[in-house]
Structure 1
């Protein structure tokens, strides 16, 4: 199989060729490796090669719906026994887990051939993939722009045609943000739909979900069929779907009531391209027979951001402390931004953290009431197109301002200064729409339906009721048929 032929097919189509013995798993792997050799030096998507492991696996008699399909894992949480999981950090660069994550084992059981791990910002903390350890991942649509984050390496690899599917996770938008930046389909399952075990019961208080980034809707659906279901000891157990998600992509959705908004929930600017993408999608939905009404849930977006950030600060502190115990890492092994966030988390009173987390219930209840009136909620995925590389790095003046407080471990001074809160809120200005789904545990997706005049992709974002992934897949497949994006590919 030529590289050009390989790039044209999604994962299920490749697996079908293997099943029919028209191509072997080894041939698919070599095509993927050849494409990686062509483009990875330009985009820096893959940071941990696993070529020999993959070649040995491709020789085996593989079985499952994705038998023989080349695959890449995200370099955090998606543990592959004996292979480094660095989490984009010097602190973990020598950490090798001793067992597969359930996510990885289920993928292997489906027949995939894993040949590497993809770049992520340190500890998956940012909406841009530019870790100091590995350097920036570049957007295949324009190498001067970011892929978003934190699953930016995975998105770049799929967009560039290295793989049709790559592992991803989403604690604040980290599947949907890079999917939007790279012109791909990004789906975030409901809380508890995919097991985070055995290393974790829940990640980020249940805000984070594991899944994939894909080009086709059906690949995403079929992979969720593989991944879904609780494992023994998981804290959440969600009812299984009535039918397979792949079957749902073949079923037309009912006539839906869809609310939409283009206003930033934290009252910051939204780029005209992002507004136009939603407005155009609303017209498309109406032409399909759906009812579309401009409306928003009665939720204080500033409060959502505040409660999200307190969780974020607290978990950075806990992760840094855990890393130092597990790996013997020093404080200096973490990037300055991570160290500042950890200090903030250590300085946050426990009662204040618990109070902020308790407020998640109110947001979930309000969104649940909103979904009594509307089936789906439509917004931009991002408030701005993909940022330029380097533009999201903390300015030198801010670094200088917090350095004395960091050096003296004066976390309360940092809290009082407001510098970190201001910087964190500014970082959310580009991505204010995605965190609501994480905090409420609801399924959501970014669909690539718009491109700027300069050729950068723009995603549109849908949130459904808890547990209603099927409705999202039905609509996504309908949108994919109406406005196909399969042949929209970067020129890299």
Structure 2
């Protein structure tokens, strides 16, 4: 890659260079490795490396592959490579090695990518910041004092700093879209059932979580979705059929003006930062100037009920995870294995009844029906991606007093007693006040994207979210392509790390 600025290319362009014999796959890999080793010490985005495996597996006869030679990183949660560590950001799994490739990984390998390692993520992908005790905090390339978001924070930091053009991510409550918004990237959460979860899982988080990537360009996301949109017999959920290439759809303009609803009000009644509101207002103005009809109207769902049902899932999944770990490791989990807050969430999950869990799952279906009706009138729903600008590194860490309280509660199994207090409402407020907009699409199964269309006076990127009806990723890609071609789009190459 001598003379070529590797970090400025997207994946589509790099693959074209390989296909045209302008660079080799090994040259790309060495350029990426050099970049990772140069900038990662400041960012802590990459936590496990498998350079030798990638170099040994590289080949020259890949010119027919759509992602020929493209270096990428995977997230250290559910995106396994056989024989490599899969820690999920937890001390309990720091020595675990995957037994086989995830289908997500296999599809991207077959498309020509080379996997160089794994990115930082919070323990079990549970937090909206990436600060696991196992690895320490990942940092934002736009400002090292703030978080890149979570849970795909390491992935977003790696792409935004030019380590790789694409990185694996997953989204169970906003974990693709939130880091994309904080790092000036494009982030799409596909329709439930669009991307693979297997072979060892039929569903993740009861269908709330989807696998995909974070990218610098819209076309890279579309290309990766083409690669990942495959049949999977053991998948619990199946997205509406799509028989067209998203890459080809992206090349076409929207056929007609869109009818778009928008809201800047937090669905749980919390505060929304002015830059997050301003990003939506500016986007509304651009949409209207480009012929779309835009109307201020909130989604027809009970935001607090959605939040509460999401938290039931959250608690239950953590409890099940801890039980599975105890079974596989043959011992009880302690705070030496997992973080205190994880233990607290598990304690609450074990206290929630099966009846409540089923009732809360029914709320997802009700919300999905309400949104389907909503989309009979509105093509898209526009909101801020996040309600607040990224937190300072360590800002959301718990005090020593809170940690001791959590340990006491967990030790004495006081989950049922806690459920009788106001702690659930407090946890909803505390956990979701910064990011209350993204969970809706996870619970209803809709596709949603964050697009980088605004910057603050301090030049920090701000994303806005668009949600579409199930199966309508094509509509999101087309609108994203139009925005990307406009002067609204934030150029990720303007962040300080891209200037190095």
TM-score (norm 2): 0.96
What is the match of residue 16 of structure 2? 16
What is the match of residue 237 of structure 2? 236
Q: Identify which of 317, 331, 334 aligns with 2:333.
A: 331
What is the match of residue 296 of structure 1? 298
Contact 1:3 1:34 in 2 (8 A): no
Report the 3-state secondary structure (helix = DSSP H, G, I; strand = E; otherwise coil) of the residue aligned with 1:212: strand
Report the 3-state secondary structure (helix = DSSP H, G, I; strand = E; otherwise coil) of the residue aligned with 1:94: coil
What is the match of residue 351 of structure 1? 355
Q: Equivalent residues in 2 for 1:410-429 (5 A)?
A: 410-419=414-423, 421-429=425-433
C-alpha deviation, 1:4, in angstroms: 6.2
Report the 3-state secondary structure (helix = DSSP H, G, I; strand = E; otherwise coil) of the residue aligned with 2:146: strand
CA distance in 2, matches of 1:234, 1:402: 36
C-alpha deviation, 1:59, in angstroms: 3.7
Report the 3-state secondary structure (helix = DSSP H, G, I; strand = E; otherwise coil) of the residue aligned with 1:201: coil
- Gap regions ≥5 residues in structure 1: none
C-alpha deviation, 1:19, in angstroms: 0.4
CA distance in 1, matches of 2:27, 2:236: 41
- 1:19-54, Cα deviation, whole Å (9 max, x unpaired): 011000000011101111111000000000011011
CA distance in 2, matches of 1:383, 1:396: 27
CA distance in 1, matches of 2:273, 2:456: 11
- 2:210 aligned with 1:247, yes or no? no
Q: Identify which of 341, 363, 370 aligns with 2:367.
A: 363
- 2:458 aligned with 1:454, yes or no? yes
- 2:107 aligned with 1:106, yes or no? yes
Contact 2:455 2:490 in 1 (8 A): no
Contact 2:273 2:388 in 1 (8 A): yes
Q: Equivalent residues in 2 for 1:19-38 (5 A)?
A: 19-38=19-38
Contact 2:240 2:470 in 1 (8 A): no
CA distance in 2, matches of 1:402, 1:327: 23
Q: Identify which of 457, 468, 471 aligns with 2:475.
A: 471
- RMSD of aligned residue pairs (Cα, Å): 1.4
C-alpha deviation, 1:420, in angstroms: 5.4
C-alpha deviation, 1:454, in angstroms: 1.5
Label 1:3 to 1:32 Cα distance change in 2 as closer, same or farther (>3 A). Answer: farther
What is the match of residue 223 of structure 2? 222
Report the 3-state secondary structure (helix = DSSP H, G, I; strand = E; otherwise coil) of the residue aligned with 1:425: helix
C-alpha deviation, 1:405, in angstroms: 2.0
What is the match of residue 285 of structure 2? 283
Q: Which one is further off, 423-432 or 143-152?
A: 423-432
Contact 2:130 2:138 in 1 (8 A): yes
C-alpha deviation, 1:411, in angstroms: 1.5
- 1:182-207, Cα deviation, whole Å (9 max, x unpaired): 00000000000011011111111100
Q: Equivalent residues in 2 for 1:6-405 (5 A)?
A: 6-59=6-59, 61-62=61-62, 63-253=64-254, 254-328=256-330, 330-332=332-334, 333-405=337-409
Report the 3-state secondary structure (helix = DSSP H, G, I; strand = E; otherwise coil) of the residue aligned with 2:266: coil
C-alpha deviation, 1:423, in angstroms: 2.9
Label 1:255 to 1:329 Cα distance change in 2 as closer, same or farther (>3 A). Answer: farther
Label 1:292 to 1:429 Cα distance change in 2 as closer, same or farther (>3 A). Answer: same
C-alpha deviation, 1:239, in angstroms: 3.5
Q: Which one is further off, 247-256 or 309-318?
A: 247-256
C-alpha deviation, 1:402, in angstroms: 3.3
C-alpha deviation, 1:329, in angstroms: 5.8
Q: Which one is further off, 168-177 or 363-372?
A: 363-372
CA distance in 1, matches of 2:289, 2:381: 18
- 1:232-289, Cα deviation, whole Å (9 max, x unpaired): 2222223432420001111111210000100000011000000000000000011111
Report the 3-state secondary structure (helix = DSSP H, G, I; strand = E; otherwise coil) of the residue aligned with 2:446: coil
Contact 1:317 1:341 in 2 (8 A): yes
What is the match of residue 485 of structure 1? 490
CA distance in 2, matches of 1:356, 1:244: 36
TM-score (norm 1): 0.98
C-alpha deviation, 1:403, in angstroms: 2.9
Label 1:421 to 1:83 Cα distance change in 2 as closer, same or farther (>3 A). Answer: farther
Contact 1:230 1:238 in 2 (8 A): no
C-alpha deviation, 1:90, in angstroms: 0.8
Label 1:339 to 1:60 Cα distance change in 2 as closer, same or farther (>3 A). Answer: farther
C-alpha deviation, 1:87, in angstroms: 0.2
- Gap regions ≥5 residues in structure 2: none
Label 1:312 to 1:146 Cα distance change in 2 as closer, same or farther (>3 A). Answer: same
Contact 1:2 1:31 in 2 (8 A): no
Contact 2:128 2:151 in 1 (8 A): yes
CA distance in 1, matches of 2:268, 2:310: 13
